[in-house]
Amino acid sequence: MLPELLAALPEKPGAVVADKAYDTNAVLAAVAGQHAQAVIPPKANRIDQRAYDENLYADRNKVERFFGRLKEARGFATRYEKTATCFLAGAHLLAALDWLR
């Protein structure tokens, strides 16, 4: 699904940050086809251990923790609001409350 997702983006990404599960030759070729930097750590069983930007990869954890905090709100986690506008408004409100925390 990643090649289709990258092709559907309105602008080409500068980097694609993902976990080890996405360390496949097909994913790396799709990222290279978009002229983006692949920030994906290599699997331990990969013969060719390639380098990646560890600082940029560490920022991925911050994003995951942020979404984890958003999902503490039951209405957001279960998508209680059915319309996209109301759901987005809830996401904005939760993000603002998280920022104030």
Closest CA to 6 of 65, 26, 20: 26
Residue 96 has pLDDT above 90, yes or no: yes
Residue 95 has pLDDT above 90, yes or no: yes
The reply to whether 73 and 42 lie within a common domain is no
Looking at the structure of the chain, the number of domains it has is: 2
Residue 80: phi and psi, rounded to 5, are: -65, -40
How distant, in Å, are the alpha carbons of 7, 49, 69 from that of 99?
Answer: 32, 38, 11
The reply to whether 1 and 44 lie within a common domain is yes
The reply to whether 59 and 86 lie within a common domain is yes
The reply to whether 47 and 92 lie within a common domain is no
pLDDT of the residue at 80: 87
The 8-class DSSP code of residue 16 comes to E
The reply to whether 48 and 68 lie within a common domain is no
Closest CA to 73 of 50, 45, 98, 56: 98
The reply to whether 35 and 72 lie within a common domain is no
The reply to whether 45 and 81 lie within a common domain is no
Q: How far apart are CA 19 and CA 27, in angstroms?
A: 12
Residue 41 has pLDDT above 90, yes or no: yes
Model confidence pLDDT, tens digit, residues 52-68: 999 999 998 888 899 99
